[in-house]
A and B are shown apart, each in its own frame.
Chain A
Amino acid sequence: MAFYLRGTNVPHRKNTLNKPVVRIPCPKTVTIPMSMHIGKQSIPTVKVGDLVKVGTKIGEADGYISANTYSSVSGKVVKLDEYLMYSGTTSTAVVIEADGEMTLDDSLKAPVINDNKDLVAAIKDAGIVGLGGAGFPTHVKFDVDPSRIEYLIINGAECEPHVTSDSVTMMTRADDMAYALSSLNRYLGIEKVIIGIENNKKDAILNMKEMAQSLTNFSVEVKTLPSLYPQGGEKVLVYHTTGRVIPTNKLPIDVGCVVINCTTLATIGSYLKTGIPLVEKCVTVDGGAVKNPQNVIAPIGTAVGDLFDFCGGLCEEPEKLIYGGPMMGITFPNTDSPVLKNTNAVLALTKKEAKLPKTTACIRCGACTNTCPFGLAPASISKAYDNKDIEALKELSVDTCMECGCCSFVCPANRPLVQKNKLAKELLRQEKMKGESK
């Protein structure tokens, strides 16, 4: 690559990287929301009193951009409840009392695949969504004319502090990943695969290189990238692996690329092998308030509190609970909240860790624009947003913002820059809707 996009050095804090991955014992109950993805929430297919097993479908995808939901334990449905999601919206959640047996549903079997349509259908059936955090239904990405896909890019960058669950996937699930890659090669004709990994994950890189060598029918390249946040941002990764620029408001497929997270890939592989849909997640449990941080494999729907208890409990009252990493993760209000499909980490930050400096006046130092991977001018965007200047916001191309948070992170005045960017994007969206309804 001729040059790398800008970014910022965030602390690594990969405390859990070299610790063994442990499976949590079956929790007493799981709470499985019908909305763990981008798109329409799935429609519950069970009622209170129904007996379910691991892999029993409990929610049917509602339309194209949606995903199936499966029970992650065996037991009895005890409640169908309106559940307040971290996003502030509500979703129906199925609460299942586990019998502790973890019996697999008898109907589960490896899907039969003959062509690209079958493969896309299988990925949809498995309820697989983007597991890096976004939760975008994965089948949609592959449901294109296969000739359009020139590169498959596997996101193993994992640039957020604390989070190591993707690294663990790359270190322990190479066989699942290889199986998925072979199928994608066979049925979608994908010839070129690039796995992008930050250079602070040596073991993952070694393991992936070994896997790449074992796949001889097509090209698999492991690309070591500098540890510079946000290396795992989709557009950043595509640029750094292929040199291609994804235009604003366009998708990777528009430049011939499909990007999926490495854990998503592994999940596709295990489904194709066994027919067991997405029912469990490897979750990094970390943060200063957690006594024994580690990666835990947990059934989807497990209460975060159960994870903390399993990791030795909390050594102090956490100030913030976060799904995902501290740069882009989303806070949630209490430890009853469940592990979702797209949960790659849960963090319990102490008061000290979560302390942010006071916001003061902008000193026009330019740190925000000089750290923005896309060359945006966050301070100017903030000003334009405060003035509700729609034209200026368009001119400043705020829609390009991926909300990585570098600007706010480096701002010496700790101004809410990325936060204003988000508001500005929302403002433009509303203006556009107003314009369309006229």
Chain B
Amino acid sequence: MSSLTKLTISPHIHSGRSTAGIMRDVIIALLPVSVAGVLIFGLRALAVIAVCVISCVGFEALFNLITKKDQTIGDFSAVLTGLLLALNLPANIPLWQCVIGALFAIIVVKCLFGGIGHNLVNPAITARVFMLVAFGSMAVAAFPVDTVAGATPLSAEKMPTLITLFLGNYGGAIGETCTLALIIGGVYLLVRKVITWHIPVVFILTVFVFSFFYKGFDAVSALSLVMSGGLFIGAIFMATDYVTSPATAWGKVIFAVGAGVLTCLIRYYGTYPEGVSFAILFMNILTPYISKWTKHKVFGTQEAVK
């Protein structure tokens, strides 16, 4: 009798895709806009990014340690949450507020709901909204910083030119101004098959169409509205969060249309100048229902085709 080998149930091989690999890809996709943010807003932006990332990872590690759970910081999701949070904040935000935001994102939104995969809403977005409510305008309306003067364009009388909006050399949150860098990141995610086109394309298109009508069929104004504010970072990076968006293609489309319409309603008829975060947050909550409505039809359970 030769020695015994391992007995397991099939499959015996794996694709090699991993949660950590996916998170790493999203972080890589955010590098261009992070670099752009630092170039536009200066080293203060780098400090915000560092504080957010370090606090997020730190809080998650601490939570796991205290609650005696398996350490999960190795999956890079806390790094990603920190990075996304920072990119949604203005560069001149007090650093202590960043720490509070990270605490809220990681502990309240993520860990208390059971950790990765169990949160109902996107941690970074929710933290941003929390900061907006808690600290007033600090978190959303970008204050003029040293290098760039000007208010956040959505509330400004005069919009920057399309080229400026595309390159991002104007006021706003660290990661939301440089449309070019965000598109590069989005293309990378598509190529790496981390996300599908459905949510970003439909979300952005919906906002464009709505704005086009709202602005009296003025395509240039509609385009400026699309490229300003947090739409691109929201549509490409936040709304596509697996945990809090539907899995099927039709589910994604419904989610994106909903988020687009809500964004416009808040932007144009609400009291807040920017609606992307609220719109995504709201659709996050609807996600379980959208998923239920848009389940795949199971093969062979309909009438047999003869």
Instruction: Indicate, yes or no, whether A interacts with B.
Output: yes
Residue pair A331, B304 in contact (C-beta under 8 Å): no
Q: List 30 A-B contacts (CB under 8 A).
A: A243-B305, A244-B305, A245-B305, A247-B300, A248-B301, A318-B5, A319-B6, A326-B11, A326-B13, A329-B12, A331-B8, A332-B5, A334-B2, A334-B3, A349-B12, A353-B13, A357-B16, A364-B244, A366-B242, A367-B17, A372-B296, A373-B299, A408-B11, A409-B11, A409-B13, A409-B14, A410-B15, A410-B17, A414-B18, A418-B11
Interface residues on chain B, number (Cβ under 8 Å): 45
Residue pair A246, B10 in contact (C-beta under 8 Å): no
Q: Which residues in A have their C-beta under 8 angstroms from that of B75?
A: 360
The complex places the Cα of A8 from the Cα of B193 at a distance, in Å, of 13
A237 to chain B, nearest CB (A): 13
Residues of chain A whose beta carbon lies under 8 Å from any beta carbon of chain B: 5, 8, 10-11, 161, 235, 239, 243-248, 250, 254-256, 305, 317-322, 326-336, 349, 353-354, 356-357, 360-367, 369-370, 372-377, 396-397, 400, 403, 405, 408-414, 416, 418-419, 422
From A8, A248, A319, A414, B5 is in contact (CB under 8 Å) with: A319
Other A-B pairs, 6, CB within 8 Å; known A328-B10, A362-B117, A374-B300: A250-B300, A326-B12, A334-B1, A363-B77, A374-B298, A403-B10
Residue pair A370, B12 in contact (C-beta under 8 Å): no
Q: Which residues in B have their C-beta under 8 angstroms from that of A246?
A: 300, 304
Q: Which residues in A have their C-beta under 8 angstroms from that of B298?
A: 248, 374-376, 396-397, 400
Q: Which residues in A have their C-beta under 8 angstroms from that of B7?
A: 331-333
Residues of chain B whose beta carbon lies under 8 Å from any beta carbon of chain A: 1-19, 21-22, 72, 75, 77, 115-118, 242-244, 246-248, 295-302, 304-306
Q: Which residues in A have their C-beta under 8 angstroms from that of B21?
A: 412
Given A365-B247, A367-B17, are A254 and B11 neighbors across the interface (CB < 8 Å)?
Answer: no
Residue pair B243, A363 in contact (C-beta under 8 Å): yes
The complex places the Cα of A377 from the Cα of B247 at a distance, in Å, of 10
The complex places the Cα of A245 from the Cα of B115 at a distance, in Å, of 41
The complex places the Cα of A326 from the Cα of B8 at a distance, in Å, of 11
Q: Which residues in B have their C-beta under 8 angstroms from that of A374?
A: 298-300
Q: Which residues in B have their C-beta under 8 angstroms from that of A361?
A: 19, 72, 115-118
User: Chain A residue with minimal CB distance to B21?
Assistant: A412
> 4 closest pairs, A vs B, by CB?
A366-B247, A375-B296, A405-B11, A374-B299
Q: Which residues in B have their C-beta under 8 angstroms from that of A405?
A: 10-11
Q: Which residues in A have their C-beta under 8 angstroms from that of B4?
A: 333-334
Residue pair A422, B9 in contact (C-beta under 8 Å): yes
